[in-house]
Amino acid sequence: MMDFLEEVIKSGIGKVEQDVFLSHYTTYKVGGLARCIIYPKNVGKLVELMHLIKKYSLQYKILGNGSNLLFSDRKYENVLIHLGNLNQIEIIRNKIIVGAGYSMIRLAREALKKSLTGLEFAAGIPGTVGGAIFMNAGAYKSDMGYIVQSVKVLTPDLKIIDLTNLELDFHYRSSFFQKHTDYIIIEATLRLKYGKKKSIEEVMAERRRRRMETQPLDFPSAGSVFRNPEGLPAAGKLIEDVGLKGLSKGGARVSPKHANFIINAGGASADDIKSLIEFVQDTIEKHYHVKLKVEQEFVNWE
């Protein structure tokens, strides 16, 4: 790893942070020490970095805002790549071309400025464009699959190609990228519709008010923990109905405000959060004979 990092630094690929706690890079505010986080300056430098990763036969993971990840408390020895520098944006009429590292919340605001509708659902999503596409993030009966026209990716053989919406296989909280994790999202082209700025602003304001009232935004969390099961009430309702709302394990707690949120109520470890997620999952399975699917990704638990 040291030879690899020396070559990365010598090549001027971008900022390199070493031995940093992942609690500073995840919305749960937990996670062990990371060996390194590398911030490529641009797409060209990302390609250089991937060549070096292949040269040294290293494992890697893309890190966005850390809003859908639960890292263990163990040291993470692989390479973390942060695409925050891929944050360019261009708006051409009702089309937005935007980098993978761009903030979804900021993107929704930029669309509002241009009276473009279709991104209202994203105004409360604390992730990046790349992360939102990977997860097919959504809310209020809409998601990325409705607005993504194409995505520019870096393939496993380090070629840059465009994938169309149909090729991206968008479904509820699912996309092509979850089955092809060796493709790296670089940039997306979104196609929106023109709307009335005041109406768009009102919708975003109303949804912001609802989030403040119904979600535990004053505590670290990673948003909804479980996907809503088919043919049953929403996951939060099921969790509340079996009496788990407010349940704690260590510093982790099922939010008293919204049962499909698990919060770091103070001093939680990653083990506390994972243990509570699994306990809720097992309890719901016993009561309803359905295993809730976890929206968040567990990393470094092997």
pLDDT digits (tens, 9 = 90+) for 234-272: 999 999 999 999 999 999 999 999 999 999 999 999 999
Chosen domain end from 145, 172, 200:
200
What is the pLDDT, as a whole number, of residue 240? 98
Grade residue 175 by pLDDT with cuts at 50, 70 and 90. very high
Same structural domain, 276 and 257: yes
Q: Is 173 a catalytic residue?
A: yes
What CATH number does the domain containing 254 carry? Answer: 3.90.78.10
For residues 227 and 256, membership in a common domain is answered with yes
Write down the pLDDT at residue 139. 86
Where b means 16+ CB within 10 Å and e means fewer, 77-108 reads eebbbbbbbbeeeebeebebbbbbbbbbbbbb
Q: Is residue 188 scored above 90 in pLDDT?
A: yes
Q: What is the pLDDT of residue 107?
A: 97
Residue 294 has pLDDT above 90, yes or no: yes
36 and 67 both lie in a single domain = yes
Choosing from 23, 72, 221, 224, the catalytic residue is 224
42 inside domain: yes
The pLDDT > 70 percentage for the chain reads: 100
Domain-located, residue 96 = yes
How much is the pLDDT for 221? 97
For residue 239, give its domain range: 215-299
Domain count, the chain: 3
Residue 105 inside a domain? The answer is yes
Same domain, 193 and 121: yes
Same domain, 102 and 179: yes
Q: Are residues 96 and 167 in the same domain?
A: yes
Residue 206 lies in a domain: no
pLDDT above 90 for 141: no
CA 173 distance to own-chain centroid: 11
Residue 36 covered by a domain: yes
Q: Is 106 a catalytic residue?
A: no
DSSP string computed for 247-260: -EETTEEE-SS-TT
pLDDT at 140 (0 to 100): 87
Q: Report pLDDT digits (tens) over 33-85.
A: 999 999 999 999 999 999 999 999 999 999 999 988 999 999 999 999 999 99
Q: How confident is the model at residue 101 (pLDDT cuts 50, 70, 90)?
A: very high
The token pair that represents 246 in the structure block = 């407010």
From 167, 200, 233, give the residue that closes a domain: 200
- Is 210 within the bounds of a domain? no
**Among 82, 104, 135, residue at a domain's last position:** 82
Domain assignment present for 237: yes
User: How large is the average pLDDT for residues 87-113?
Assistant: 97
Please indicate, yes or no, whether residues 14 and 98 belong to a single structural domain of this protein.
no
Q: What is the CATH number of the domain that holds 67?
A: 3.30.43.10
Residue 302's pLDDT is what?
A: 81
pLDDT at 81: 98
Catalytic member of 120, 187, 240, 295: 295
Mean pLDDT of the region 24-37: 97
Instruction: Give the tens place of pLDDT for each residue, 145-158.
Output: 999 999 999 999 99
Q: Per the domain annotation, does 207 fall within a domain?
A: no
Of the listed 74, 173, 191, 227, which one is catalytic?
173
Helix (H, G, I), strand (E, B) or coil at 56: coil
Distance in angstroms (rounded) separating the CA atoms of residues 108 and 283: 37
Residue 131's CATH number: 3.30.465.10
Per-chain mean pLDDT for the chain = 96
